Homo-oligomer: A and B are copies of this chain.
Amino acid sequence: MNTHTVKAYGDELNQLTAEVARMGGLAEAQVADAVDSVARRDIALARAVVDRDVKLDAMHRDIEKKAIRLIALRQPVASDLRKTLAAMKLSVDLERTGDLAKNIAKRALAVAETEPMQPLTRSIERMGRLVSMRLRDVLDAYTSGELDGALAVWASDDEVDEHYNALFRELLTYMMGDPRTINACTHLLFMAKNLERIGDHATNIAETVHYEITGDEMIGERPRGAPGASETGLTHTHTLPEA
């Protein structure tokens, strides 16, 4: 290998990492905008989120293609291989995050047509901000290579679950109190679920960052056995009277 080849290889790897970071920035913006579009009943913003999602899909395909080519042609080892595999994994999580943000925005369009339900949309907003923060923190950890940041996100997974559980209870009470809200509340229910899943993707990303830096798998079970456990919501429904 001559110097030129070596340089190009390093460039390719850096470019891959930079593209993942950019994709992360876009995914972060999509989640924040989707949540804002719910809170402000902003139809134009919701439409913009829906339209922008194709960019994330394209970036995902591009990163995957580049990573596979890099593995095939450059045959990276050790930390370079981990970087490449991490880029592939992260782009999957970010693409899914984008899908979930798009889904929230689509539901925002539907909810904007119904009667405002202030307390509920404020709860969605609070949960959305929490999830956005987790996503921002874990992407910071990725770009700075700081293990502590990734571990902090990983360890605080149950905060999101607590928000989800409280919101779920709130929604059920609302629906039971006024069946005319069932249709709209179902959208909010899925929004909350989507936010919870975005939180799970942030946890996945934390695990991948940990793997990229240390070469080890994440130690032990997730805080609350996410995503399985947190998705059932069995705990909260049982605290409600069997109406």
Contact = CB atoms under 8 A, between A and B. Distances in A.
Nearest to A78: B72
Interface-centre pick from A85, A109, A172, A193 (highest chain B CB count, 10 A): A85
A234 B106 contact: yes
Interface residues of A, number: 45
Copies of this chain, whole number? 2
Nearest to A96: B227
Contact of A75 (B75, B106, B186): B75
Nearest to A229: B106
A233 to B, nearest CB: 8
Interface string A29-50: 0000000000000000000000
Nearest to A181: B243
Nearest to A187: B237
Interface of A: 53, 61, 65, 68, 71-72, 75, 77-78, 81, 85, 92, 99, 102-103, 106-107, 109-110, 113-114, 172, 175-176, 179-180, 182-183, 186-187, 189-190, 193, 217, 227-228, 231-234, 237-238, 240, 242-243
